[in-house]
Amino acid sequence: MSKHALTQLMRVATHLKRYDTEMNMTRLQVLLTVAKKGRTGALVKDIVTATGHNQSTIARTLGNMAQQTVRGQKEPLNWITMEPDHEDSRRVRCVLTPRGQTVVAEIEELMQ
């Protein structure tokens, strides 16, 4: 990996720590997986498949990225919203909030 690529990754990691002092790879994977799905969002089962983590880990991570307050934070991240799927209400669809879209845009900018 080039020095430039490593520098970009370090900038992204440092930037994300400003929002989430406990940011880890799982949260980043979930955020980017949901972002990749765009406006339609991602089903929880798709996130599980894409990241390789088990469903309980993804559920906990989604909770931390949605409305639950993360340890050490004063307010929830509110990067992702979870809503019932319009085709099957037993499934949950995850979509970036405007705040989450801003964070992803910032990541994209730092990677250029």
What tens digit of pLDDT does each residue of 11-47 get? 999 999 998 888 899 999 999 999 999 989 999 999 9
Percent of the chain with pLDDT over 90: 68
Determine the pLDDT at residue 70. 62
Residue at token pair 């991240």: 77
3-110 has which CATH code? 1.10.10.10
Supply the Cα-derived Rg of the chain in whole angstroms.
14
For residue 106, pLDDT over 80 is answered with yes
- CA quadruple 59, 16, 5, 94: dihedral sign: positive
For residue 63, pLDDT over 80 is answered with yes
* Cα–Cα distance, 39 to 34 (Å, whole number): 9
Instruction: Tell me the Ramachandran region of residue 71: left when phi exceeds 0, alpha when psi lies from -120 to 50, beta otherwise.
Output: beta
Question: What is the reported pTM?
Answer: 0.87
Q: Please state the domain extents for the chain.
A: 3-110
